[in-house]
Every structure is written in C-alpha cells, then in structure tokens.
Amino acid sequence: QTRMQSLQPDPKAQYRSVYEALKKIVLTEGFWRPLRGINVTMLGAGPAHAMYFACYEKMKKSLSDIIQHGGNSHLANGVAGSVATLLHDAVMNPAEVVKQRMQMFNSPYKSVLACVRTVQKTEGFGAFYRSYTTQLTMNVPFQAIHFITYEFMQEQLNPPRDYNPRRGGAAGPAAATTPLDVCKTLLNTQENMALSSVNISGHLSGMVNAFKTVYQLGGVSGYFRGVQARVIYQMPSTAIAWSVYEFFKYFLTKHKLEKR
C-alpha cells in the first residue's frame, strides 16, 4: 500500500496491481521485504489497541448511563470511538512514520532504531507527528461510524450480547478515506523526488499542503493511489481485530458471567 501510494515512484517500483507489486517486491528484493517494518507496528499496536478498547468501553458505558440511563446510546458509541481514536493514533502515528519510511523503495534505513535516530536528528521530534491531524481527520469520523455501525449490528443480530465467534465486525469505508491516507503517506515519507518536482524545499507540513501537492503531482486520480491495497487490507484486518477483541473480552469476563 505504501509503495503504491508513492506519487513519483522509481521506475523499478511502479506497480499496476497489488499482486504485481507483491510479486515484483519478492522477486527483486527478497521474500521478507514485504514484511519490513512489521516489528515497529507490533510494538506500537499492543499499547495502542489496549488504550483504544479500554477507553472505548469505559466511555461508552459512562456516556450511555448519562444519555440513556444504562441503555445503548449511538451518540455515546460515536463519541467514545472518537476519543479512543485520539489515544490510539497518538501511539500509532510515530510507528506509522517509521514503518512507511522503511517500506519505501531503496529505503536508506537498516533498522527501526536507525530510522528513529535519523529522523529525530535530521527533522526533529515533530516529524513523527507531522501527519497526526491528517490521521485524525481520516480516523475520527471513520471510527465513529464504525463503532455506531458495529453496536447497531450487535443489537440487531445479537441482542443478548452472547459471545459468538461467527459474528465478525464490519469493515469501515476504507475506499472513501483513501485520499486522506495518500496525504498521510506523503507527510510520513516526505518523498524527495515528488517534492523537488514541484519546487518544494524543506519539509511538507499540514493536511492542506499535502492535498495541494497530491493534486499537483497526480491530479484527482492521485488521491486514490493504492485504494485496492487499502480495501484488501482493511476488510480482514477489521474482522480479525474485532474477533480477537470479542474473544478476549468473553474469556476474561467468563467467570463473572457464569456467576450472574
């Protein structure tokens, strides 16, 4: 996805489809190359998702008690999902910056630590949060709709809220938020070739500047680079995340439920 969102890719890193990209990367750069950056993602995902779900459950319950006296409030679900996203992205944004820089074609970084040190030394700490507002603009409405939809479907398909592993979470509108994701990738990776071609020196900052630059370099179609990869990634990712979450929620509260 990161490679396919590149606005001015190297001739050796131009791909027409997800399959072609994966095949070309494996054949020319090695079998493990598509997994580059997975270690920093795993490192950030643990605490990020812990804060995400803990905040969501706590706020959902507290707000539902206030708004609907113990009932399920869609407003509470949306607000809780939005606040949970602020915490999640605060942890994951630096991890995303490192991961995407390591995934770019001919990435100069040999390891996660080397990438962190180089970015910190050359661009400062702010580089790890350059795309934070763009990330939130994309994820806050995305997650608010996601949680409202999920809780609504639970009400319709599973009113007693019994644990059933066959019922997964719904995938969010991944395609609709791709333009913001392309802007986020540009802000995270700061493609030198792309910026120099439009006479931008220094570092690009801000969502508005990113939107303008993407349009200058790729037109309207530039906003949808990598959309196929994003949808393919989001659907199983969402289903797996919710299934694992519901399993551990059930497992950890099983004793309390049995007492009831």
* pLDDT tens for each residue of 194-218: 777 777 766 777 888 888 888 988 8
Judge whether residue 113 has pLDDT over 60.
yes
The span from the CA of 139 to the CA of 52, in Å, is 12
* Residue 71 vs residue 122, higher pLDDT: 122
Judge whether residue 139 has pLDDT over 80.
yes
pLDDT (average), residues 40-64 = 91
pLDDT at 231: 86
Candidates 127, 147, 150; CA nearest to 139 is: 147
Q: Are 73 and 64 in contact (CB under 8 A)?
A: yes
pLDDT tens readout for residues 225-240: 988 898 888 888 888 8
**Token pair recorded at residue 196:** 């120099």
Whole-model pTM? 0.80
**Backbone angles phi and psi of 103, in degrees to 5:** -85, -15
pLDDT tens readout for residues 149-183: 888 887 887 777 777 666 555 555 677 888 989 99
Amino acid at 96: E
Residue partners of 179: CB distance under 8 A and separation at least 6: 211, 214, 223, 224
